[in-house]
Each structure stands twice: as C-alpha cells, then as structure tokens.
Chain A
Amino acid sequence: MTTSAESVAPQVVVPQKRRPFPTRGSWLRRQPTWVQVLFSIARGPMGAFGLGIVLIMALLALFAPVIAPYSPVAQHPGMELKPPGAQFWLGSDDLGRDLFSRILFGARVSFAVGIIATALGAAVGISTGLLSGYLGGWVDSVIMRIYDALLAFPGIIIGIAVISILGPSTLNVAYALAIGGMPFFARLMRSSVLSEREREYVYAARCIGAGNGRIMFRHVMPNTLAPLLVQLSLAMGFTVLAEAGLSFLGLGTQPPDPSWGTMLNDSRAYLREAPWFGLWPGVALTILLVALNFLSDALRDALDPHRANLR
C-alpha cells in the first residue's frame, strides 16, 4: 500500500467497531481504571449478562440466611421428596429439607471455595512466578520444574490426590484446587515479568537505588496485572466446577452441609421419584458457570491491548 504525502495523518488509532468511550465519556475518563473496566464489560450484552448474573448470585449467597425460607439442614418429617409447590418452592429432598434453601446455601460454598482457592492459588502462583522471572537462574529452574510437574496432571486428579492426603472437607477442597491453580498464574506472571524487567523504568528504579523487592512488587507487578485478571476469572470458573465435581465424588463438602455437587450426588438415588431433586442444583451450577465464562470473555476483551479502548 502506498501513502501519498497528504494522507500521512497523525498517528491516532481509532478502533473501528467499538468506539472508545465516546464524546460524553469525559466523566468516565476521570474515573479509576477499575471503574472504566467495569463499564467496558457491561457495554457488551454477554459481559452485562455475565456480570449481572454473577453479582445477583453473589448477593443471594451473601444474604442466604435472610432470604432462605428454612434452615438448609432442617428436616421436615413426612415431607420427603415433595415436588415444587407453595411450601417448598423448588421441592424437598430425601430427608424433607427445602431444596431452595439448600441451593442458596450451596451457592455460599461455591463462592467461598471459588474465592479462597483462586485467591490462594493466585497469591502463591503470582509471587513465585514473579521471583522466578525476575531472579532467573537456579531459582527459576527449581520453581518452574515443580510447576511443570504439577501441570502434567489434570486439575481434578491433583484435587483427588491432595484430598486423599488431607482428608475430605470443604476447606481442603479449596487448598487442593489452589495448588492446582498455582502453575497457571506462575507461568503467566513469569512470562510478563521476563519482558517487563528489561524495560527502562526498571533500570531507572535501580539507578535511584531501589532494591530487588521494591522493584518487583512496586514497579514490575502493577504492570503485569491485566492478563492475570483474566486468568483470575477463568480460575474462578474452573474452581467452582471442580468443587462441585469433588463434592459430587464425596470428597468435598460433607453432609449435612449443602453443596451443589453433594446434592447432585444424593439426587441420583431418587431420579425416578423426584427428578427435580437432581435438576435444580445442576441448573444453578450451569447458570453460574456460563455467567463466569461470559464474564471472563468480556474481561479479556476489555483488557486486550489490541482492542484497548481505555487509556
């Protein structure tokens, strides 16, 4: 393509399809980055749907004790396996417990494990990845070999292995899934640090006498957060699914506490008499997973430097 002298315009890149925050966006431009990112997610239909559903479910989980009509462990003798109706909105289970209440409280388990496991895995993975990429040498080799070994196995197998050692419980599931999530954060962090540490601002910081720790955490880390945010939302989705899977195997949340996975497992014996028992926990789980998928897609679009509409 040839360019004549007149057409050499100033180097302004204007995204074609999605316009940057438009003419009236001056208010938004003054907001902190995270507000801008939130707005950017909520602009697309999928992002808005994902964000909305995740927020609604988080609120339902948070206020479960207020919203739930019954205690999730209260048994109502004589009311076993009732179909959905006025008394039990979504029906009752084999011990006469209200399914709606149990699903609300089950959401708490999903969110709790999702948040704890993701946060733990991210904290350890990010800091070791940072060390690995920044220091290099034998530290890098040792850390990455360990993560390579972990990456060789599917997350659910790591979960089963860790739980067979720690014993089944909700918290142990969170630990197990955190271990499974670490390598992904570490690899991502390491690769961005490898390119960041050669930047001028790192040399500048070193010149004015900043130590390794300060350079790593104050200077390099904030510049590598965008891809990590996307990985956070992906990890959250995977953890929620894996928690349900492990609880389904009886390795996670123990009875009588409600978890969607445990409920699905219990429902298998009553599929013929009470199909709704196995329906609702799966519906809840699927909705949350789809919403988290949409959210991470929207987040990736919002943070992708190629489509950056944020400055």
Chain B
Amino acid sequence: MVAFIIRRFLASVPVVFIATVVIFLGLRLLPGDPALVLAGQDATPETLAAIRAENGLDQPLPVQYLIWLNNVAHGNLGVSFFTKTPVGQLLQQRIPATLELGIAAMILSVVLGIPTGIVAAVRSRRMPDWLVSAFNGLAVAVPGFWLGILAILLFSLVLGWLPPGGRGDFFKDPIGELKFLLLPAVTLALPFAAGLSRLVKGTMLEVLNDDYVRTARAKGVDENGVVWHHALRNALVPVATILGLQFGRLLGGAVITESVFSWPGVGRLIRDSIGNRDYAVVQACLLLLVIVFVVINLLTDITYGVLDPRIRLSGGRSR
C-alpha cells in the first residue's frame, strides 16, 4: 500500500513540474518588462538595473524560474500591482468563500444525486425513472450561468425571497448566509447532481443484476434489505471515488457561478485579475488551482487503491 501511494505521488510530480514551467514561461514571455512595472514608467536606467538585480530579472530564464519557485515555496507569491496588496493575503481572503460554495454544492449534489439515482434504478423503466431521467437530461444541458440568471430573475427580482448576489458571514448570521448561499450552490450543484444520479443509476442497475443479489432474494431478504444492504454498498464504491474528481470539477465550475452571483471567491479574483492584467495574481491563482487539482487526483487514486486492491496491485491507472 505504501509503495502504491509513493508511486502515485511520484507520478504526479511531473504534472506539477510541467504546469509550473508553463505558468512561469507563459506569463514571463508576455510583452512588457516586469522591472518597468515594479519601478513605474519614469524610472531611471539605474533604478531599473537595481530592481532587475534585486529580483533576479537579469539572470537567465532557468535561474529566474528557480528563484520564482523558491519564492513560492517560501510563501512569497508576489504583490498585486493593481491593488498593491500581497497576493498571499488576497488568496487568504478569497479561498474560504470558494471552499464554502464548493462544499455546499458538493453536499447538495450528493443529497440530490444519489437518492434520485437509486430510485431511478429500482423503479427502472417506470414513471420515477422517466421523471429522473428527464430532469437529469435537462440539468446537464442547460448552461449553469443562464440557469443562475433565470434563478436570480425569479427568486430575487420577481418573488424577492433571496438576495441576487453577494456573501454574508456564516458565523455571525447563519440563516442570512444560507440565503446568500442557496442560489449559487443549487446552480452549481445541479449539473453535478445529474451526472452523479446517472452514475448511481448505472452502477445500481449493474449490481442489481449480480448473482449475490439474486442469492439474497432467494434466501428471502425483503426488497428493502436487498436494495439498502446488499446492492447499495457495492454500487457506491465507484461513486465514492468519482466524488473526489467531482469536487475538482465543481471548483472549476465555481469560476463562472461566482461571477453570476458576485460571490467573492477565487474564481472572481482570477476573472478580475485577467481583466486588469494583474499577472502576479493570475500566476498565483493558477498555481493554487494546479496544486489543488493534483492533490485531489492523488487522493482519488489512493482512495481507489484502498477500495479496489486490483488497481493497487497492478500499479496502474485508475482512469
């Protein structure tokens, strides 16, 4: 098991390496002199040279890359040249908001997706199955940002039940914060809930046809027992491993949802920083996302290995 974890960990090192090189080069090769940005337009050649030397900008690119990595490793992500605040501080303010939205959407998609999937499988080819399938088809096809706009239109502007955007403080006013959270979380969760529901339905249908389910029925276990104790447990193994990847995709989707609902998270920070050409912030955000996704993928692979020894022993690839 330890060997498996180490192997998976080492396999993700090249991903991080390639990603950091791309992020570094991509933003360094842009037109515009970073020293000029730091010093201001009317800096003398001497100050420019001093700033270059100080920041290592006179070094060859590979050396600059190492300096940058070293800075990042020490938590120095640079300074936003738009707001003049350290990027680390900006991220600290934004990360909790995105996590809050992501976790809320994750819970919602599990609560919506798994039971509907079970019902659709157990009542296959009957009314509940059709209803769930129709709903899922719709939820997957309707673009999230449009759904968000429609939801704001209906629940905030016409009915006036919920705020159209923004974020409160969960610890000071939990009820108020839930109101802020409800629309963005539901909008973000719906397509994922639909995907989850389809997956659960698929694995449940497969499992319900397995021999051991027939055995359970034959020895007289009632239908509820078959579904809940025998089938569901085994059907949820692949689902559990997909959930990790789903969380990553949710964070990707959050970039757009945050913009629809003016949610002050990392997604909005990226969007605004690209608009302002605030490259230090963009760089840091991209790096953060890379690390988050690599860690999520690693954890998913390890979960898979724990749940299914065949993957662990073949040393192989879960996807």
The residues of A with any CB-CB pair to B shorter than 8 Å are: 145-146, 148-149, 151-157, 160-161, 163-165, 168, 241, 244-245, 248-251, 261, 264-265, 267-268, 271-272, 275, 278-279, 281-282, 285-286, 289-290, 293
Contact = CB atoms under 8 A, between A and B. Distances in A.
Q: Main SS of chain B's interface residues?
A: helix
B256 A154 contact: no
30 contacts: A145-B14, A146-B18, A149-B18, A149-B19, A152-B293, A153-B252, A153-B289, A154-B251, A157-B293, A160-B270, A160-B271, A161-B23, A164-B286, A245-B145, A248-B259, A249-B256, A250-B271, A250-B275, A268-B149, A268-B260, A271-B152, A271-B153, A275-B153, A275-B157, A278-B149, A278-B153, A279-B150, A282-B149, A293-B140, A293-B141
A197 to B, nearest CB: 20
A279 B154 CA distance: 12
Nearest to B164: A271
Given A165-B30, A268-B149, A160 B19 contact: no
A295 B177 CA distance: 42
Nearest to B290: A153
Contact of B143 (A152, A244, A265, A271): A244
Contacts of B271: 160, 249-251
A103 B319 CA distance: 39
B249 interface: yes
A279 B146 CA distance: 8
Interface in B11-63: 14-15, 18-19, 22-23, 26-27, 30
A264 B146 contact: yes
Contacts of B146: 264, 278, 281-282, 285-286
A152 B15 contact: yes
Interface in B265-319: 270-271, 274-275, 279, 282, 286, 289-290, 293-294, 297, 319
Chain A CB within 10 Å — which of B145, B253, B279, B290 has the most?
A: B145
A268 B319 CA distance: 39
A147 B142 CA distance: 29
A248 B290 contact: no
B289 to A, nearest CB: 6
Given A271-B157, A278-B153, A264 B145 contact: yes
Given A248-B256, A249-B271, A282-B150, A157 B289 contact: yes
A161 B286 contact: yes
B297 to A, nearest CB: 5
B152 A154 contact: no
B270 A289 contact: no
A285 B143 contact: yes
Which residue among B14, B22, B248, B256 has the maximum number of chain A CB atoms within 10 Å of its CB?
B256
Most chain A CB within 10 A, of B15, B19, B23, is at B15
A47 to B, nearest CB: 15
Contacts of B14: 145, 149
Contacts of A268: 149, 152, 260
A183 to B, nearest CB: 11
B273 to A, nearest CB: 8
B256 A156 contact: yes
Contacts of A161: 22-23, 26, 286
A285 B149 CA distance: 14
B188 interface: no
A271 B149 contact: yes
Interface residues of B, number: 44
A272 B164 CA distance: 11
A165 B26 contact: yes
Nearest to B145: A248
A296 to B, nearest CB: 12
B243 to A, nearest CB: 15
B101 interface: no
Contacts of A278: 146, 149-150, 153
A50 to B, nearest CB: 11
Contacts of A249: 255-256, 259, 271
A251 B274 contact: yes
A149 B150 CA distance: 36
A249 B150 CA distance: 17
Nearest to B296: A152
Contacts of B145: 244-245, 248, 261, 264
Given A156-B252, A248-B256, A278-B153, A290 B141 contact: yes
A163 B274 CA distance: 9
A92 B293 CA distance: 42
A59 to B, nearest CB: 22
A145 B150 CA distance: 41
B255 A241 contact: no
A271 B319 CA distance: 43
B164 to A, nearest CB: 8
Nearest to A272: B157
Contacts of A160: 255, 270-271, 274
Q: Top 3 nearest A-B pairs by Cβ distance? A: A154-B252, A282-B146, A165-B26
Contacts of A155: 252
B299 to A, nearest CB: 12
Given A149-B19, A249-B255, A282-B143, 8 more contacts: A154-B248, A157-B252, A161-B26, A163-B274, A245-B256, A264-B149, A282-B149, A282-B150
Contacts of A153: 252, 289-290, 293
Interface in B138-168: 140-143, 145-146, 149-150, 152-153, 157, 164
A286 B153 contact: no
Contacts of B297: 152
Contacts of B259: 248-249, 265
